[in-house]
Amino acid sequence: MSSLKAIIFDVDGTLADTERHGHRVAFNRAFHEFDVPWDWDENMYAQLLAITGGKERIRHYVEHYVAGEEIPTDLTLFTKSVHARKTEIYVDMACRGQILLRPGVERLISDIKDADVRIAIATTTTLANVIALFTATLGLEALDWFEVIGAGDMVDKKKPAPDIYHYVLDKLGLPAHSCMAIEDSANGLQSSLAANLCTVITANAYTRDDNFKGAALVVDGIGTPESPFACLQGNAYGAERVGLPLLSKLLAASHSTIQL
């Protein structure tokens, strides 16, 4: 079994808390502009997060919560149009610095880069959102740090299907057993596990109660020197932050479990 060669990050909920004050707000603004009386509050949005992908989420909402004259006549066209506007709004919010990276993320990415371990992205969100977030938070040069960015509609089936991880592994040219995934949700974990990736979960308020069976470790964040992570499931080997030493130990442990 090989050592750790690449780390594949999810974006939404993992690298940044994008959902509550980012995507949710952008969806609602787009609905308002399109003159539909829909407003997703935090509780409704928590339920809708079970559906990954913005277009898929809008369609699901219309099919399950909207009735009568409020149902758009051409749902596919409506969904596409309102989602395109939602993306513009989200990109604008990210460019204005309204969406921040989670604590410890910048340090972790910098450590991985310095150690010559490869970095990639596997996300359900639209590529433009990822570019805007990284450029605004890490700077334009950060786009070069991510060797592969697998995003949105680049694959047919979004998470929890493994397609986006297969896509990224294929582009990296690496086998799953030499890579690790960092995720925040049950949908993300199902996706990475189905691609045979050893996975660490950095949970957040929306996903804390998800089922994380099969994760190598579940913590409540990357952790910083001032604010170490809380370990929610698994063996953190005494570490207080997610870093390369811990990730390497977890990958090695996953190999020995497979061999048993």
Which residues share a beta bridge with 234?
217
Q: Give the residue numbers marked as catalytic.
A: 10, 12
Nearer to ligand XBP (CB atom), residue 87 or residue 196: 87
In terms of CB distance, is 52 or 178 closer to ligand XBP?
52
From CA 17, how far away is CA 5, in angstroms rounded? 27
Provide, rounded to whole angstroms, the least separation between the CB of residue 238 and ligand XBP: 29
Q: Tell me which of ligand XBP, Mg ion, none is bound by residue 53, counting a contact when its beta carbon lies within the kind-specific cut-off of 5 to 8 angstroms.
A: ligand XBP
H/E/C letters for each residue in 156-167?
CCCCCCCHHHHH
Cβ at position 124, least distance to ligand XBP in Å? 3
Work out how close the CB of 218 gets to ligand XBP at its nearest, in angstroms, rounded to a whole number. 16
Give me the 117-156 binding string for ligand XBP, x by CB under 6 A, dash otherwise.
------xxxx--x----------------------x----
99 touches 136 (CB < 8 A): yes
Shortest distance, position 129 Cβ to ligand XBP, whole Å: 5
C-alpha to C-alpha distance for 176 and 83, rounded to whole angstroms = 33
* Residue whose C-beta lies closest to Mg ion: 13
Which strands sit side by side in the sheet containing 231-234, from one edge to the other? 146-150, 118-122, 6-9, 179-183, 198-202, 217-219, 231-234
Question: Looking at residue 51, what DSSP letter applies?
Answer: S
CB atoms near residue 60 (< 10 Å): 15
Which of ligand XBP, Mg ion, none interacts with 126 (beta carbon under 5 to 8 A by kind)? ligand XBP
Binding residues (CB under 6 A) for ligand XBP: these are: 10, 12-13, 19, 23, 52-54, 87, 123-126, 129, 152, 159, 185, 187-188
